[in-house]
């Protein structure tokens, strides 16, 4: 049974969590994300908008709606045809979800509390709409 719903809207194109890169320093491998990767700004925007949100103790359901801006290089006819249609190009939905869940880590003890995750991608005004619902047993 749903008891609490929290919704945030993050302006701008959603960014997927990239794979970590690997380098070798002194014969030891290390993994890292380049500091200039746009995922850092995306996560920071989520954290800033969600700063005053609730902290969940129990199971939560997360619904992510990722809207990607239609490229300016497309003709107006093609832009109109794709507006609010399913986005079936990269980035992958699961990688967008990873970035969002990582950014919201301060709002629950662990990602394992997310028992249901739904991610949908559309062409439209660039934004990410995140809805979190807490459930009681």
* Confidence band for 23, pLDDT divided at 50, 70 and 90: confident
pLDDT of 45-79, one tens digit each? 999 999 888 989 889 999 999 999 999 999 999 99
Q: Is 84 left (phi over 0), alpha (psi -120 to 50) or beta?
A: left
Average pLDDT over residues 91-99: 94
Q: Is the pLDDT of residue 34 over 80?
A: no
Q: Is the pLDDT of residue 114 over 50?
A: yes
Task: Please tell me the distance from the alpha carbon of residue 33 to that of residue 39, in angstroms, as a whole number.
Answer: 9
> 63 pairs with which residues across the strands?
118, 131
What angle do the packed helices 93-103 and 38-49 form, to 10 degrees?
A: 50
Average pLDDT over residues 21-48: 84
Q: Is the pLDDT of residue 35 over 90?
A: no
3-state SS assignment for residue 83:
coil
Q: Say yes or no: domain 2-135 is CATH 3.90.25.10.
A: no
Q: Is the pLDDT of residue 1 over 50?
A: no
Q: Where are the domains of the chain?
A: 2-135
Predicted pLDDT at 137: 65
Global pTM value: 0.86
Q: Is the pLDDT of residue 3 over 60?
A: no
Q: Is the pLDDT of residue 2 over 50?
A: no
């Amino acid at each position: 049974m749903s008891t609490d719903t929290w919704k945030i809207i993050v302006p701008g194109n959603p960014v997927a969590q990239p794979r970590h890169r690997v380098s070798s320093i002194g014969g030891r491998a290390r993994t890292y994300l380049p500091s200039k990767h746009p995922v850092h700004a995306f996560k920071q925007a989520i954290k800033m908008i969600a700063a005053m949100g609730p902290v969940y103790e129990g199971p939560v359901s997360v619904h992510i709606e990722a809207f990607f801006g239609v490229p300016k290089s497309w003709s107006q006819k093609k832009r109109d045809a794709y507006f609010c249609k399913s986005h079936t190009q990269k980035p992958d939905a699961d990688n967008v979800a990873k970035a969002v869940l990582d950014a919201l880590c301060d709002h629950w003890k662990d990602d394992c509390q997310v028992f249901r995750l739904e991610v949908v991608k559309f062409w439209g005004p660039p934004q990410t709409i995140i809805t979190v619902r807490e459930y009681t047993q």
